[in-house]
Structure 1
Amino acid sequence: MMATSGKHTSAFSSTPLEVLLFLNGWYYAAYFLVEILTFVYKGLVLPYPAANLILDIVMLFLYLGVEVIRIFFGSKGNLTQRKLPLCIGLALTFPSAAMAVYYLLLQTYIVRIEVIINAILLVLYAFEVILGVVALAEFIRANIY
């Protein structure tokens, strides 16, 4: 039997959330590569205005930065059972979802593969928000800072 310091140290981190964040990290890496290849295709085959193509690619790199930070803070907050990093990760899900909607509906040219991969990404975000809110509620209920 292990002695404790009197502080309740039960594990409240969410395993399903952590698995989803891990899988989303790998999925986003594949997503990023597919988008880059898609932009190469669209730039070569379609009459894509150069300014729009550059803007879409720059936005994709900004999206990459937000997504890396989002997954890092979401995972850190979940694993360390801390509310602030988890809240940052959850908050960054909304700009990430907005970017996925942009690439799903609003960019200059949209090809079918982009519809599919962005729809999958939005479903992953929805599940992550649900699981993140549940984990955050557990941390609050357990009075974990």
Structure 2
Amino acid sequence: YFAAFYLAEILMFIYKGILLPYPSDNLVLDVVLLLLFLALETLRIFYGWKGNLCERSLSSFMSLFILFPCAALAVYYLLLQTFVLRLEFLLSCILLCFYGLEFLLGLISISSLNRV
């Protein structure tokens, strides 16, 4: 889901940068945070994939730990950026729901890995 979210965010930033009176400093900040979001999400998915594949609880725990800054950035794009489009609001809400579900499933996975 994040790939679709990221692509939609890039296209919406292009739209907002062209058509809306977006302050250039805020636009640069939002784009830099979007790039940071991409890096953190890639790292989070990598650790989750490795932890699940190798059945290592430390990698899975790192994935869950990185989930918190990713969720904070999703909340930023949900509420705190300069202009929030309705589509951004909806996509960020869906992303946060997926993050909550992933957190619960990650905790269950880590607890089952520690029992074995």
Q: TM-score range by the shorter chain?
A: over 0.9
State the distance in 2 between where 1:70 and 1:76 align.
10
Q: Determine if the alignment matches structure 1 residue 48 to structure 2 residue 40.
A: no
1:119 Cα deviation from its structure 2 partner: 0.5
Match of 2:11 in 1: 37
Determine the structure 1 residue equivalent to 2:46: 72
Q: Which has the higher helix share?
A: 2
Q: Which residue of 1 aligns with 2:34?
A: 60
* 1:131 is the counterpart of 2:109: no
1:75 CA drift (Å) = 1.4
Q: Does residue 92 in structure 1 map to residue 66 in structure 2? A: yes
Flag the structure with larger Rg. Answer: 1
1:33 Cα deviation from its structure 2 partner: 0.9
Q: In structure 1, what is the Cα distance between the partners aligned to 2:28 and 2:76?
A: 15
Structure 1 residue ranges without an equivalent (≥5):
1-26
Query: What is the TM-score when the length of structure 1 is the normalising length?
Result: 0.79
Q: Distance in 1 between matches of 2:46 and 2:84?
A: 29
Superposed displacement of residue 30, structure 1: 1.1
Identify which of structures 1 and 2 has the higher relative contact order when contacts are C-alpha pairs closer than 8 Å and 6+ apart: 1
Provide the rounded CA distance (Å) in 2 between the counterparts of 1:59 and 1:124: 20
Counterparts of 2:91 and 2:76, CA distance in 1: 13
> Using the alignment, how far apart are the partners of 1:78 and 1:126 within structure 2?
18
Same amino acid, percent of matched pairs: 50
Which of residues 50, 55, 66 in structure 2 aligns to 1:81? 55
> Cα offset for 1:44?
1.1
Q: TM-score, normalised by structure 2?
A: 0.98
Runs of 5+ unmatched residues, structure 2: none
